[in-house]
Amino acid sequence: MPYLDAGGARMTDCSFRRFFPGERHVTRRFSQGVLLLLLEGTLYFEEEGVPAAVSQGEWYIQRPGLLQTGERGSPSPFYFYIHFEGDFREEDGGPDLRLPLSGRFRRESLLPLLEALARCRQEAAERQAFQDSLFHSILYLLYSSDQEGRNPLAYQILKAVSSRLDQPFSLSSLAEELGYCEDYVGRVFRRQYGVSVGRYLARLRLQKARQLLRDTEKSIRQVGAEVGYPDQTQFYRLFRRETGLSPSQWRAGERDGGRN
């Protein structure tokens, strides 16, 4: 089953959309991914001839390059769509946020973010960094919704780690907070996600650091502090180990358009 690498996805367009009664999905092969979030009704379409239906409270990701058709009219669905560029992987688990192609979401949690993203899209290009942040917040909420029904303790650990990117972190302190021994917390997380808690946190921090380096003018020291590494030497060493480049070299490459 394919998964979207949510951490590396970049939004290009978005909007609310309502079909008129009986309107059909457009026939196309689109070059980008499309995230559909159904707020009302049901949207019908086919991908490579296979029928699909997305109903209220469900999300669906249309992968790029697939033939989409609309043989059946839809009963006035209301939804939010996001066009994006991103990578798809076949395997689950691992340190990245790998989002399934479909699932359920809570409208009350997402709607304020969708409205903010739609407003942001209509404003000036300098809001790109804020726009990207909103998009990734939406993807993270979808990812969290998907994980919630799995191992409850592993999900608790995931939420706690993901919310502490800019704070000192200790697995022993987290284990004490959750009421379990440190070794057990580490084993549960690795069994569920295929990576240690420390490695997962480091990867999330470096993903956030790359976004800040690419989209802001903050200094290397400021970026390191915002992702939990106030020691600039430690931040430099970890960043270089992960990317093969220093933070300043990586930023220069991104702005020259030569590196993803």
Confidence of residue 250 (pLDDT cuts 50, 70, 90): confident
Whether residue 237 contacts residue 205, with contact meaning beta carbons closer than 8 Å, is answered with: no
Mean pLDDT score of the chain:
83
How much is the pLDDT for 69?
93
Among 47-56, 86-95, 142-151, top mean pLDDT goes to 47-56
- The whole-number average pLDDT for the span 169-192 is 87
Residue 15 has pLDDT above 60, yes or no: yes
Lowest mean pLDDT among 6-15, 101-110, 140-149: 140-149
- Quick one: what percent of the chain has pLDDT higher than 90? 25
Confidence of residue 40 (pLDDT cuts 50, 70, 90): very high
Confidence of residue 124 (pLDDT cuts 50, 70, 90): low
Residue 258 has pLDDT above 50, yes or no: no
| CA–CA dist 260, 206 (Å, integer) | 14
- Quick one: what percent of the chain has pLDDT higher than 70? 86
The token pair that represents 249 in the structure block: 């070299």
How much is the pLDDT for 259?
41
Identify the CA nearest to 63 among candidates 94, 103, 31, 92. 31
Residue 120 has pLDDT above 60, yes or no: yes
Among 67-71, 113-117, 125-129, top mean pLDDT goes to 67-71
Residue 148 has pLDDT above 60, yes or no: no
- The whole-number average pLDDT for the span 205-226 is 87
Whether residue 159 contacts residue 152, with contact meaning beta carbons closer than 8 Å, is answered with: no
- The whole-number average pLDDT for the span 173-188 is 89
Please give the residue that has the higher pLDDT: either 141 or 219.
219
Contacts 24+ apart (CB under 8 A), 241-244: 242/202, 242/203, 242/206, 243/206, 243/210
Q: Is the dihedral of CA 63, 45, 13, 140 positive or negative?
A: negative
- The whole-number average pLDDT for the span 218-246 is 88
